[in-house]
Structure 1
Amino acid sequence: MTVIAPPSRPPALSPSRASDFLQCPLLFRLRTVDRLPEPASAAATRGTLVHSVLERLYDAPAGERTPAAAQELLPVEWEKLQEADPRVKELFAPGGDAESEGVENWLDGAGRLVSTYFTLEDPNRLEPAERELKVETQLPDGPLLRGIVDRLDVKPDDGALRVVDYKTGRSPSPRFEGKVLFQLRFYGLVLWRERGVVPKMLQLVYLGDGQVLRAEPTPEQLEGAERKVRWVWSEIERAARAGKWEARPSKLCDWCAHRALCPAFGGTPPQIPEGAVELRLGIA
């Protein structure tokens, strides 16, 4: 019998896990409850690397945050990433996600994304208040919300907050903007509940095509985000208590690491380990 270790932190809902459930409840279950391992993804790993470079860039004083300095950080952060997660070395092995690309071309792609950043913002004119900020808040009669904000800027004169998130993909078409803004409104909601201040600006920086998406949230919009979060959580509770995690096929299935286990493709999900739902979701 599989023994489930108690979580190091209380169960919580993050924007990425909420998005997983909205995309496919079975995917949410396999990632959050079963915690099945997934092979390294070339795109996700490149995103992690670029985020690390942009975080470390602000360790340098203003005036020294140059494109050349950022490029010099790439191999340093790449070495750290390989030490922290040995799976990324499998990317370039036979059958790996980046086998055909090769490590040098893959790193060049990361370098181009970093270069694009300098066309969108001048880091020498910014002094972030926080980087990779862990935020959380407990909703009354609801779930604990948790996430990591890439960058939080605080305006010196009036304390206005700007939430910044870096994306290494391309910007969405207008009809999908609401979906991507959900993540930032989630963070805005958490900051509002914890600090009592509605962020002035939510900003998505798309390095894939050099676009910036900005939105000024209102209390009504953040309350709407809370209602959506509560609805998602109620659906998670319903699925957990019924033991029914629906597979929801879509075009995204082509990139799913668990497709072989999906009933929609002739697979059979594993049995949920005893006690996993309560330990990992806090749902009895």
Structure 2
Amino acid sequence: METSTEGAAETPGGGIAEVDPPVPDEQATTREAAATAAVVEARVAIAPASLSPSRASDFMQCPLLYRFRVIDRLPEKPSEAATRGTLVHAVLERLFDAPAAERTPPRAKSLIPGQWDRLRETRPEVVELFADDPEGERLARWLGEAEQLVERWFGLEDPTRLEPAERELFVEAVLDSGLKLRGIIDRVDVAPTGDVRIVDYKTGKAPRPEYAEGALFQMKFYALVVWRLKNVIPRRLQLVYLGSGDVLTYDPVLADLERVERKLLALWEAIREATETGDWRPRPTKLCGWCDHQAHCPEFGGTPPPYPLAVRAAESGDGSQGRMGPD
């Protein structure tokens, strides 16, 4: 799981339609703008040095969004959907600490309060999600929804028969080109035969068939990293959709991973070009309604922060006119 961003919702491959766009709050927007200015001024921007599935998806969705998150590092408000996903992931990870016979739905649900307390300690900003809920009714409903997602998992997999080789595994590999790939895999299973299965939990709904390839991009990214690290092609990639109770599987072959590598190299070249020229153009889509950065986006009448990196001089006819960085 890539936590930055499973944002307010997941990308088209991950069931974004299940949440409503946030209602604008002028006072909150003003406070956020002030905080953003302070953060931008205090932090020293550096050029991107690696690529993760989430950041790759950001750039493909909207180059300007990538800039805001990676270079400007603008703050984003926590969302109930993303925070619930983080909570559920933590519960499913911790459940495997228990002996196999004790991995039951009641045991899993009993972990939720403690993991919620831990989340509030490690990420204090999530407390503001329920700051306007003094009676705790909305929080109780939200925790109940997390329980439902956890319980649904037991109908999709049997944890009493699983002994993961890795949980929340950080992986990093450097390609021959020098591109560094990194990410966090929810679960890695290794069969007695040595076959490797990569598993990722999604708290949204399964995508429609036309979006299946997009949903598998993250998994193929991880498969590429594992292949480069271990010289082993995972036998299976598995997406477990707790929101709809579906499991999507794919068995990759070498040609898949080679295609993904070529795609990532082309993507990284585009990111490098944008970094050097300061040309980060917005790409309007229906996902803009969920974006935290509308106040800085030209598509919504906003102005991006001053570009914090040096840009190369424009060459005649290079098409760099209109870039967002300074001359």
TM-score scaled by length of structure 1: 0.91
CA-to-aligned-CA distance 1:70-124 (integer Å, 9 cap, x gap): 0000000000000001111111124x9xx99710001101110000000000000
Compared CA separation, residues 113 and 275, structure 1 to 2 (3 A): farther
Structure 2, unpaired ranges of 5+: 1-39, 312-327
**Cα offset for 1:57?**
0.3
Q: 1:225 corresponds to which residue? A: 260
Q: Distance in 2 between matches of 1:23 and 1:197?
A: 30
| SS of residue matched to 1:89 | helix
Q: 2:245 corresponds to which residue? A: 210
Q: Which 4+ runs in 1 deviate beyond 6 A? A: none
1:74 aligns with 2:112: yes
**Residues 45 and 71 of structure 2 are in contact (CA less than 8 Å); yes or no, is this contact kept in structure 1?**
no
Q: 2:198 corresponds to which residue? A: 163
Q: Distance in 1 between matches of 2:266 and 2:86?
A: 30
**Residues 49 and 74 of structure 1 are in contact (CA less than 8 Å); yes or no, is this contact kept in structure 2?**
yes
Which has the higher relative contact order, 1 or 2, with Cα contacts under 8 A spaced 6 or more apart?
A: 1
Match of 1:243 among 262, 274, 278: 278
| SS of residue matched to 1:59 | coil
1:260 aligns with 2:295: yes
1:2 aligns with 2:30: no
**How many pairs were matched up?**
270
Q: 2:236 corresponds to which residue? A: 201
Q: 1:281 corresponds to which residue? A: none
Q: Distance in 1 between matches of 2:137 and 2:274?
A: 40
Q: Percent identity?
A: 56
Q: Distance in 1 between matches of 2:100 and 2:239?
A: 23
Q: 1:282 corresponds to which residue? A: none
Match of 1:184 among 219, 225, 245: 219
Structure 1, unpaired ranges of 5+: 277-284
Q: CA RMSD in A?
A: 2.0
**Residues 2 and 273 of structure 1 are in contact (CA less than 8 Å); yes or no, is this contact kept in structure 2?**
no
**Cα offset for 1:6?**
8.3
Q: 1:58 corresponds to which residue? A: 96
Match of 1:133 among 169, 174, 178: 169
Q: Distance in 1 between matches of 2:78 and 2:241?
A: 22
Q: Distance in 2 between matches of 1:153 and 1:89?
A: 34
User: Which amino acid counterpart does residue 174 of structure 2 have in structure 1?
Assistant: Q
Q: Distance in 2 between matches of 1:3 and 1:11?
A: 20
Q: 2:70 corresponds to which residue? A: 32
